[in-house]
Amino acid sequence: MCATTRSTDSESPDLRVRLSTDRDGNMTILVTGLTGDEGFEPTDNCYFRTAGSLRWEVERILKLKAHECGIAHRMVNSQRYVGTTAWTFYGTGHANSVRQIAGELAEMFAVELQA
């Protein structure tokens, strides 16, 4: 599944949300096009260096929604690059919850979820 921006009114016109499943059933929500992420250093994880980045809001929402669904203990931040963050949910049996999280994230940032 892939979410792309619906209109140019979006906070980040290049924001994309991709939901994928690997062969073991683990699901990953990949978000690219995060604005304000210039200067982000994946090994430093310093909020104040990139306080204006959309990264922090996306990650906050993902963590909050995962807690609400009871699957936060199954998620790990699997990719951290400038303009990109990805969270992998390990294990099976929670695909509907992960799809719901991806859908709500897409809706919050005015992007359309595509199958």
Domain count, the chain: 1
> Which band of pLDDT confidence, cut at 50, 70 and 90, is reported for residue 10?
very low
Say yes or no to pLDDT of 11 above 90. no
Task: Give the structural domain span for 107.
Answer: 2-114
Say yes or no to pLDDT of 8 above 50. no
Average pLDDT, rounded, for the chain: 86
Type and span of the H or E element at 55: helix 55-69
Instruction: Write the CATH number for 94.
Output: 3.30.1360
CB 16 within 8 A of CB 32: yes
d(CA 32, CA 73): 23
Model confidence pLDDT, tens digit, residues 27-40: 999 999 999 998 88
Task: Please tell me the predicted confidence (pLDDT) of residue 60.
Answer: 94
Say yes or no to pLDDT of 92 above 80. yes
Task: Please tell me the predicted confidence (pLDDT) of residue 9.
Answer: 43
